[in-house]
Every structure is written in structure tokens, then in C-alpha cells.
Amino acid sequence: MRRLAALCLALALLAPRAGAADDSAALQDFARESRGLVKAFVGELQGALRGAIDEGGPVHAIGVCKAEAPDIARAVPPSPAWTLGRTSHKLRNPDNAPDAWETAVLEDFQARAAAGDALKGMERVELVETGEGQVLRYMKAIPVGEVCLTCHGGKLEPGLAAEIARLYPQDQATGFAAGQFRGAFTITKTTAD
């Protein structure tokens, strides 16, 4: 009897641990895949941006960025289970607004950056319970680089500023300096497939 009780106890203790180990392996795989997707996304986006700037200057690139960034974000993920995008505490396009989970992570990244943590490699990976089941979520901090300042810096060329104001009347994404926290890549994967 006592042995049975001990066995039951052992099983009860083991069960959640085994589950947790599965979860953490799945999270690690997901994080690895997510990093790959971010890399592909950055590559495609930078290529499109650079091409557009070379072709018609930064004002032209704004339109290309607006039209192509969401298309690239849709084309990069391997299956419809994935969604990929960018979000920020200071938005240019309100379509990129963070949800509650993303808002909390953005705040955490900001606090960590303010405390002196490096933005490079700053990320969060989590299995989140929702009304429709579990989803895997990933975010990675985006620092402002020199090339970003043309369109997100403190002094925008007047023609560019006018075009941004026309396309994004609620724009908050200017006034950044190189090295500052710009926002984050965000990835969601439903666990159904």
C-alpha cells in the first residue's frame, strides 16, 4: 500500500516535470525558428528599402516600405500557423499597434534598456494561454541604426517629413538617436499544427 502511494506520488511529481521539459524543448525550437524568420525578414526588408532608396530616394522608399513591409511579413513565415510583424511603443503605422502581451514585453525591454542591458540579443519567448488554446510567442528588440535616422531621426528632410505626415498623420516614430530602442519584431505561432 505504502509502495503504491509512493509510486503514485512519484508519478504525480514526474508528470508535470516531463510536461515542462517538453514545453521547454518546444520553446527552444520555436525560438530558434523565430530567430531565423527575423533574419530572413530583416534581409528582405533591408533589400527592398535599399533598392527603393537607390531607385527614387527616401521619399519614394516611404511608399515602398508602406506597401511592401506587410507583404514581406506575410511571405516570410513557413505556414499560416505563423504571424510575423514589427511593433513599437512609438508607432508610425497604427496597424502595427501592440496587443496586451506585446505591450508588456515592450515595457520590459524599455526598462531593461534604461537599466543598461544591451539591445542586441534582447528577446522574450513564451508559451501563452489564450481563450483559443496555447500560442507560442516571440519578441526581439530592434535598435536604431544610423541608416534608420533618415526616416526616424530627429531632423527629417522637409520633403520626407511632409510625405510621412501625409501617409501617417499619427506618426510618433521620429526623434530617435542611433542605439536607442526602436521597437521589436514579434512572432506568434499557434500550436495546432
Grid cell of 145 as nine digits: 541604426
Comparing CA positions, the residue from 87, 67, 72, 68 lying closest to residue 37 is 72
CB 189 → ligand HEC: shortest distance, Å? 20
CB 114 → ligand HEC: shortest distance, Å? 18
C-alpha span between 16 and 120 (Å, rounded): 34
**CB nearer ligand HEC, residue 51 or residue 78:** 51
**CB nearer ligand HEC, residue 34 or residue 93:** 93
Amino acid in the structure at residue 181: F
List of residues contacting ligand HEC (CB under 6 A): 49, 58, 61-62, 65-66, 69-70, 86, 88, 91-93, 96, 142, 144-145, 147-148, 150-152, 173, 182-183
CB 44 → ligand HEC: shortest distance, Å? 13
**CB nearer ligand HEC, residue 21 or residue 97:** 97
**CB nearer ligand HEC, residue 8 or residue 162:** 162
Maximum Cα interatomic distance, the chain, rounded to a whole number of Å: 83
**CB nearer ligand HEC, residue 27 or residue 160:** 160
C-alpha span between 86 and 148 (Å, rounded): 15
CB 39 → ligand HEC: shortest distance, Å? 14
CB 122 → ligand HEC: shortest distance, Å? 14
DSSP 61-104: HHHHHHHHHHHHHHHSSSSTTEEEEEE-SS-SSGGG---HHHHH
- The torsion angles phi and psi of 119, rounded to 5 degrees, stand at -75, -30
